[in-house]
Structure 1
Amino acid sequence: MFKKKTLSLSIAMIAALGSSYVAVAQEDQLEEVVVTGIRSSVTKALDIKRNNVQVVDSIVAEDIGKLPDNSVAAALQRVPGVQITRSNGEASGVVVRGLPNVVTTLNGRNIFTTTGRGVALADIPADLLQRVDVKKSSSASDIEGGVAGLVDVRLRRPFDFDGGLTVAGGIRGEYSEQSDSISPIGSVTVNNNWSTASGDMGVMFSVSSQDRKYMEHVSFNVAPDAVTITDPRSAPLNVADQPSLIPGVIGSYYNHGDRNRTSANLAFQFSPDASSQYYAEAFWIGYDSESELNFWVPLPSWGGFSGYVSEYKPGTNVAKTFVRDNFPGTISSNQAFGNESDTMQVAVGGQWEADKLTIKSDLAYTESQGKNRGFILDTAFFAEKIIYDFSAGGTGATDVSILNGDGTAFDLLDPSKYELWQYFDSRGQQDSDDISLSTDVNYSLADTGFTSIDAGFRLSQRNAKNNAADTGGRFRQNILFMSDYDGMAYKTPNDLLSSEVNLTTTQWLTPDRDYIYNNRAQIRVDMGYSAEEPEFLPGNFFDDQENNYAIYGKANYATEVAGMPLDGELGVRVVKLESKLNGFGVSTDVSSTEVLPSVNARLALRDDLYLRATAGKTITRPDFVQLNPLTNYFEPTDTTAATGNGGNPNLEAVESVNYDLSLEWYFADSSSLSATVFARDLDGYIQTYSEVEARNGREYLVSRPRNTGKGNLDGIELSYTQFFTELPGFWSGFGVQLNTTFMDGESESPITNKMQNLANVSDESYNAVLMYEQDGLSARLAYNWRSEFFLSFNEGGAQPGKSVVVKDEETLDFSISYDLTENLTVFTDATNLLNDPYKNWFGGDSSADESLYPRDIVARERTFSVGVRFSM
């Protein structure tokens, strides 16, 4: 594990790097070379990093176009210190230096999805981008709200193109291996710039569409229960006078679905003269998803643990094999969901220059709406005997044999054996909007040591509203079988985790998704509900309004220290928030003011060597859904214990004081070597914890977000980029990008008041990218790895450790393209070539816990695509 003493070692490494440049640096006379493609994009990204006084890493559009990535979220995993989370067959979330508290902006403006603080970066296609900037240090002029940093997505505008008409785009077919499907993905951009007597004008329109299918295979166990086994057939305990540890719920499911994303960007620019420029633009993201989880849950605990352990895991009382021969129940379920959202942002603005004064102003309106539906229909069957192997092939998956009394296999494909059991019906609607006005003023100074003064303000009003209906589980009113409904039975795929282990049972029946949806009124009646759609519940409602007022001032300076150029900025941002929260039985008014100072400094030790130091205070406000005062309590059922979940209206903003120190050596064109030490002093970091809460005489294990106490996150990033242009012939086309991050973070638990690890923080991660570009051929092989990390804390169960730990993860992606002509390129991409499964376990960060208390194993999608890009 990374320890704080690594920081002192890292500073020594930076000092060594600074003292070694003299021996290997070349003369500053560089030949001007025009480069394109991968190398051009890397050069532009390094120029942005080099010329910025903040700590910034960027991905430029040409770079994204060459990566086997479809979205901003997927592309960002190549950036030092950035890790991604994956779900439902794609990159879904972004974590910067171990923290998810990232501000997302679009062309410098705040943007969000429904009631969240940020936009779903997986929804923004890479095809529409100009570049993405990851700002890891703060500036007074940046929008507040990101303890971890700021991700600014820059879309193309008309003046980014050469004059005249431009038409460019691409289309690909993507094959998903586990879903055995081909998905169409395409985009097109049309731009036209022209000059008139009134000035230069440009109009651009881009549209992108993705219709992608996915499939994941999952096996899971809940935390084990402490069980006293009385059956005399049971194997002797390895540890006397102690109970057996057996998970009460185990199962598997196929997680599959179809996602459609359509995005459009329309922009107009007008420049009447060299001193002014105006724009109007609109951006829209549409998302529509239909998914289902085909569950199969053979329950060791159905009616109590009345069975026997035939084998224990060596040296423990943890059951390896458990046998029940008294007709235990098994649940088969289809959990079907539909989610859709529409996010739109329109903006107008401009820039004016007059002598020493520059003024920029932007007026924007953002609206995001979402709807979701959920249907869960459980069925049950009762075989005479079930054998549970909790360590199938040593993988962590549970293998289950379902048998008749004579030892033959139970017929899992007979719909007459499946009884309708429980039904859940839910729906929700989220509405959010924001209007903002910002103005930035820059005034140039002369002969003072300060080069300019920046000042500005931002005013915004954000509204977020949520409605939801959730019937909870309703047990069947009459004995009905799946065979009583013509067309209800759905046969699952038959290759569960086939890439990992050979399981006995891989196929079963569940209710069909389309049948449930098309016949939901009748099913509601048969299960004891009204035929009507469930009504929104007052307890699920919240309506929040935030008025945000921010002003800032920043002094930019340039001077010399010992003959070396020093530049940077000194700034402060003052933010006042007025918040009104209305929920079921709760109404609060909160007003707070935050003062956020920031300092950024860059010292040019040489023309190609920079020492950078930054410090600043940042905040992140809770998501609106986290502030929801509602708590849902769930009574115990055949498949679940008494649990609950809810929001926390008492959450406070997370505060952090951030420090960065970096040394960056740009030793050749398109090449660099850098080291960055960073530290975060956290206060009130928000994590989800589970705690037993009493209600009406029953105890529930309730999970909700809670502020932790004091915490810290320290680390170092190392990055190396080089193109080997000095090599002869074919070899001169090669290049590499290598980066690694070491981190150590902890915070004070609100449950135990003791220090513990931060969730989602890997101690180590690295990227290794091999690139080639020459004579129209471009290729990239990208490897990504992160070490194990804690997912959650204070879980229930009888295991010694109460955390959930995620196994280290690795991915390998590949892309290759060839320019048939100057305007036509063919390409092929592949993702997840290693097919590394996702695994986690209950307990602590030891390999023993991984094998003793496995929780999930997930086989993810592997994709292959072929396509063409064009420009005219």
Structure 2
Amino acid sequence: MQYFSATVSLLAVIASAGYPAFAQQAAQDEATVTPADQTQNQEIVVTGIRRSLEVAANIKRAAPNLVEAISAEDIGKFPDRNLAESLQRVTGVQITRNKGEGSGVSVRGLSENFTRTLYNGRVLTSPNGTRGFSFTSMPTDFVSTVEVSKTPTADMIDGGLSATIDVKINRPADVGKNIVTVVAEGLYETNPKKLTPHVSAFVNRVFGDGSFGVNLGVNYEKRKVIQAGFTGYGIEQRKENAANGRDYNVDGIISDTAYGFDHATTFVSDEGDFERKAIVGGLQWKPADNVNLYADGLATWFTDGFNRFEHQLRWTNIGGPNAAVRDSTVGENNLLTFLDADGVDHQSNNLRWVNKDRTINLAAGGDATFDRLTVSGEATYGRSVRNLSDFNSFAPISRASASYDLGDDFGAVPDIQYTRGYDPYDPSTFYLRSFSATRGRKNYETNKSARLDLKYDFDTSFIRSIKIGGYFGDDKIEFGERPRYFVSPQMLAQIYGTPYLPGVEGGAISAANLMKEVDYSRFVGEGLGRFLVPDYDKLFADASLDDIFARGTVTIDRTNQFIVREKVLAGYARADFATADDRISGNVGLRYVRTRLTSDGFGADIANAELQNDSITLIVPDSGPISFRNAYSNWLPSFNMRWSATDKLIVRMGIARAMTRPDLNRLSPSVAINANVRTITTQNPFLKPYLADQADLSLEYYFGRTGLLSAAVFYKDVKNFIVDTTSTETRTIKSTLTGTVTLDFRTFRPDNGAGGKIKGIELNAQLPLDMLPAPFDGFGVTSNLTLLDVSDVETVAGGPKVPIPGVSKRSYNLGAYYEKSGFGIRANYSYRSAAINSTIGTFGDGDRQNPYGQLDISANYDVSQNLSLTFNASNVTGATLKRETLQGVLLSEYDFGRRFTAGARIKF
């Protein structure tokens, strides 16, 4: 925070140094403008929404490959408060959300991990171990353009099999003028009903003849968030005579018949803060007409701090002295559509955690031109850190008499009733068996890279230029040690001065004096939404968290501690060509990439794993260090051609081989075991990269300043899709309750399957309705449609086929805007169809993301040349995110509410 404050002070100094000279020059310019000049300027200057659309269309038109773009309307005035939410307006782009805010970006049906995200042309790091970048940490206030390259050129950094997204911020001397912008807004969230601030400031200063410039920007934003709703795990299958089995059909006979039942019905409320701070800055010097030197950087701090209440009825754990199934209804395939039982595991958990992400990205480079030869180079450093400071879990248990009823609509929240006099609001029925937590884990990703490029231009030949270059990248991800704290019920009895009850739940204390009632019934109904939870004020009234930790047992879980390091060496050659009249132009190139991988971690000693008395926490010791090595090489050819059939009609074609490497965390040697849902997930350091042979053809028609109609078809033949192979194994493990316990686990392991094919059509319309009579000539339309035809993927050659995860076969964006006399408003409805996340899911019944559509509105009014009023509304219709099993049983439905932003933007 001290660095952030120091930067704010530095920004003020730069602004004060630059503003007087800029203001004086602006006054002189204004004094020398004649009425004729003003009329002429009014005819040629385009501002606001139309300027944004014009710049984006010009970028697309001039690009040597197939590119889509978004442009800021002005400095500090991007179309949305979130870059991902702006990108979803781009043809072929779909996004994922984190508590209602745009996070990951996927292109042309492939997940976000197939998209390479760059910042001013260089790699952005992310501490989550995946190739995808989380846009929640990236502010929009300083972004000038975002370009989405759907076809590669040989000089582009590889890794973007679906697309490469380049977030660009203008360098100060290129801006060429002195600017100060300040944005101040308030954010209102409908779920928590809270108002929070967003402020930013940006200064661009040029000196002397404009050959040297400096800029600096700071941003601060905070959101109060409540994301609430239902979550489940799917349908668990269990035989009546299995361990923990019951007489599910209530016929008095315990047989080997298997029945399916809802594993658990859970209400979840995440309530907390998003806090984002960011600093951007740069220097640029052009000491001569042929030399350009620069250095710039980005630093972000993003905090995701939440309190989670989980209210859960676990139908998989029916126990206690009176445990029995009392009634049930057996539907098709032995599914228990209704179940009423005594002794149902009734838990209310209070979890707290804080994720703190820090990202820094620095670069220095330049270019120099000597006659026809241009030499350019850049060195970069990027580092991201995620600090999981605390993850605390207090989960008291009661034994309920309760029922669930799936009803006729399996996709709805089950009807929950409490039966036979059970009172869920009686705290005396709840017992605390343990306290568990993790503290201080850190994840890192560090990227160091360097590139050198040489370009030689020809005057009149068909070959216009030859470009060669090299790239070196060193990427390392490290998941640190994970201290786990476990406080026994005997120790809890001492801490809270209450009797230890050895005969209750294998050992517990009464939680009667540690509970409070909360009410979230507006989200899911009273059956799940009003409940008791552990009260942190009471839990820590006489003992701090550190005191509780000090009395517990700490173990270091090293089975998920690892370092994966990837070194990439690449070289390329690219030739640009054009006919004498420039009607036909393009480029052809070849890129060679050598990848070396090291993967170090610790093996899992599953045989000595111990299940704690909450029947969920599993302590897995490690079996010692393990290490793996892997290396591979790839040739990546590319060809792009552009034919200007007329001054307005452009035909493009692209043919290439593209690659994306597996997520770094999937290349680790780690093992994760979940005793709750009984899964074992291992990773695989020997995964091969995804490769795609692809072809694109597009037709683009430009008219007026902003008009654009385009249609594109594309084909991708993707090899080495990574799929999760699965099997079932029975293991006997230690248990603090029973000595040992025998459980059936589903094991998951990623492996390269066979290939899959993706074919698609993209349609885009950007239509200014200038032909309408005033005042309706301010209207315009911006809409697009993407249709995909995606084949399934074989898990192994000749084996069963599964869908490519996360693919929505239809997506569209319907947009309209109106801009007139300084007032502008735009509305966009973005939709994506259902997508299968997994055919396996937790219990083999799959996981499908339901269709989702969201309406967003933004508006602004220019009070003067220096002052604009702004307004944004996100998720106007209050859409919810919903998942189901492949049989249509509800897995989750989350309500994250609506978000409204209003404020002012000042520019000097």
| Structure 1 length-normalised TM | 0.87
Residue 133 of structure 1 pairs with residue 173 of structure 2: no
Show the counterpart of 2:879: 836
Q: Distance in 1 between matches of 2:272 and 2:386?
A: 18
Deviation at 1:524, TM superposition (A): 4.5
Match of 2:833 among 784, 787, 790: 787
1:93-108 matches, cutoff 5 A: 93-99=104-110, 100=112, 101-108=114-121
Show the counterpart of 2:94: 83
Show the counterpart of 2:220: 209
Deviation at 1:709, TM superposition (A): 1.4
- Counterparts in 2 of 1:63 and 1:218: CA distance versus 1, 3 Å: farther
1:153-192 matches, cutoff 5 A: 153-164=167-178, 166-192=179-205
Show the counterpart of 2:61: 50
Match of 2:126 among 105, 113, 118: 113
1:613-624 matches, cutoff 5 A: 613-624=653-664
- Counterparts in 2 of 1:342 and 1:231: CA distance versus 1, 3 Å: closer
**Paired AA for residue 54 in structure 1:** N
Match of 1:559 among 558, 565, 579: 579
- Counterparts in 2 of 1:299 and 1:814: CA distance versus 1, 3 Å: same
Q: Distance in 2 between matches of 1:139 and 1:694?
A: 51
Q: Distance in 1 between matches of 2:164 and 2:539?
A: 43
Structure 2's unaligned 5+ residue stretches are 1-41, 491-499, 502-507, 603-624, 733-741
- Counterparts in 2 of 1:319 and 1:146: CA distance versus 1, 3 Å: same
- Counterparts in 2 of 1:170 and 1:356: CA distance versus 1, 3 Å: same
Deviation at 1:491, TM superposition (A): 3.6
1:363-416 Cα shifts (integer Å, max 9, x gaps): 111122221132222111123x2122224987521232224x4x4x7152x444
Q: Distance in 2 between matches of 1:431 and 1:283?
A: 17
**Paired AA for residue 436 in structure 2:** F
Show the counterpart of 1:743: 788
Aligned residues: 804
CA contact (8 A) 1:739 1:767 kept: yes
SS at match of 2:315: coil
Deviation at 1:67, TM superposition (A): 6.2
Show the counterpart of 1:519: 544
**Paired AA for residue 781 in structure 1:** A
Show the counterpart of 2:429: 417
Q: Distance in 1 between matches of 2:680 and 2:512?
A: 34
1:58-81 Cα shifts (integer Å, max 9, x gaps): 111228966663222221111100
Show the counterpart of 2:869: 826
Show the counterpart of 2:597: 579
- Counterparts in 2 of 1:515 and 1:83: CA distance versus 1, 3 Å: farther
Deviation at 1:777, TM superposition (A): 0.5
Q: Distance in 2 between matches of 1:783 and 1:735?
A: 15
**Paired AA for residue 617 in structure 1:** R
Q: Distance in 2 between matches of 1:67 and 1:280?
A: 24
Q: Distance in 1 between matches of 2:364 and 2:238?
A: 66
Q: Distance in 2 between matches of 1:671 and 1:236?
A: 71
Report which stretch shifted further, 547-556 or 702-711: 702-711
Show the counterpart of 2:651: 611
SS at match of 2:559: helix
Show the counterpart of 1:720: 765
- Counterparts in 2 of 1:515 and 1:61: CA distance versus 1, 3 Å: farther
Deviation at 1:472, TM superposition (A): 8.6
Match of 1:278 among 293, 297, 312: 293
Deviation at 1:513, TM superposition (A): 5.7
Q: Distance in 1 between matches of 2:302 and 2:182?
A: 21
Residue 815 of structure 1 pairs with residue 858 of structure 2: yes
Residue 379 of structure 1 pairs with residue 399 of structure 2: no
CA contact (8 A) 2:71 2:78 kept: no
Show the counterpart of 2:82: 71
Residue 763 of structure 1 pairs with residue 809 of structure 2: yes
- Counterparts in 2 of 1:186 and 1:121: CA distance versus 1, 3 Å: same
Match of 1:588 among 623, 628, 632: 628
Q: Distance in 2 between matches of 1:514 and 1:209?
A: 30
Deviation at 1:599, TM superposition (A): 0.4
Match of 1:598 among 638, 648, 669: 638
Deviation at 1:642, TM superposition (A): 2.1
- Counterparts in 2 of 1:402 and 1:146: CA distance versus 1, 3 Å: same
CA contact (8 A) 1:690 1:795 kept: no
Q: Distance in 2 between matches of 1:41 and 1:382?
A: 60
- Counterparts in 2 of 1:588 and 1:242: CA distance versus 1, 3 Å: closer
Calculate the aligned-residue CA RMSD, in Å.
Answer: 2.9
Q: Distance in 2 between matches of 1:871 and 1:568?
A: 40
Residue 361 of structure 1 pairs with residue 377 of structure 2: yes
Show the counterpart of 1:288: 303
Q: Distance in 2 between matches of 1:740 and 1:394?
A: 31
CA contact (8 A) 1:490 1:512 kept: yes
SS at match of 1:169: strand
Report which stretch shifted further, 242-251 or 367-376: 242-251
1:170-249 matches, cutoff 5 A: 170-195=183-208, 200-226=211-237, 244-249=259-264
CA contact (8 A) 2:239 2:256 kept: no
Show the counterpart of 2:13: none
SS at match of 1:504: helix
SS at match of 1:213: strand
Q: Distance in 1 between matches of 2:246 and 2:751?
A: 43
Q: Distance in 2 between matches of 1:522 and 1:386?
A: 37
Deviation at 1:422, TM superposition (A): 4.2
1:439-461 Cα shifts (integer Å, max 9, x gaps): 22211113321111111111222
- Counterparts in 2 of 1:668 and 1:321: CA distance versus 1, 3 Å: same
- Counterparts in 2 of 1:779 and 1:704: CA distance versus 1, 3 Å: farther
Task: With a CA cutoff of 8 Å and minimum separation of 6, indicate the structure with the bigger relative contact order.
Answer: 1
CA contact (8 A) 2:198 2:220 kept: yes
1:301-352 Cα shifts (integer Å, max 9, x gaps): 3236832445566x7753333212x343301112322111211122111121
CA contact (8 A) 2:599 2:669 kept: no
Residue 683 of structure 1 pairs with residue 750 of structure 2: no
CA contact (8 A) 2:338 2:405 kept: yes
SS at match of 1:126: coil
Residue 436 of structure 1 pairs with residue 449 of structure 2: yes
Deviation at 1:432, TM superposition (A): 2.8
Identity %: 27
Q: Distance in 2 between matches of 1:691 and 1:361?
A: 50
Deviation at 1:178, TM superposition (A): 1.1
- Counterparts in 2 of 1:344 and 1:503: CA distance versus 1, 3 Å: same
Q: Distance in 2 between matches of 1:287 and 1:731?
A: 43
Match of 2:696 among 632, 656, 660: 660
Q: Distance in 2 between matches of 1:150 and 1:515?
A: 51
Residue 858 of structure 1 pairs with residue 894 of structure 2: yes
Report which stretch shifted further, 609-618 or 787-796: 787-796
Deviation at 1:493, TM superposition (A): 3.5
CA contact (8 A) 2:302 2:356 kept: yes
Q: Distance in 1 between matches of 2:232 and 2:131?
A: 33
1:463-493 Cα shifts (integer Å, max 9, x gaps): 32221326497774444556576xx535434
Deviation at 1:35, TM superposition (A): 1.1
CA contact (8 A) 1:104 1:152 kept: yes
**Paired AA for residue 588 in structure 1:** F
Show the counterpart of 2:163: 149
Match of 2:565 among 529, 537, 545: 545
SS at match of 1:78: coil
Residue 628 of structure 1 pairs with residue 641 of structure 2: no
SS at match of 1:163: coil
CA contact (8 A) 1:691 1:794 kept: no
Deviation at 1:565, TM superposition (A): 1.4
Report which stretch shifted further, 303-312 or 646-655: 303-312
Q: Distance in 2 between matches of 1:392 and 1:335?
A: 34
Show the counterpart of 1:777: 823
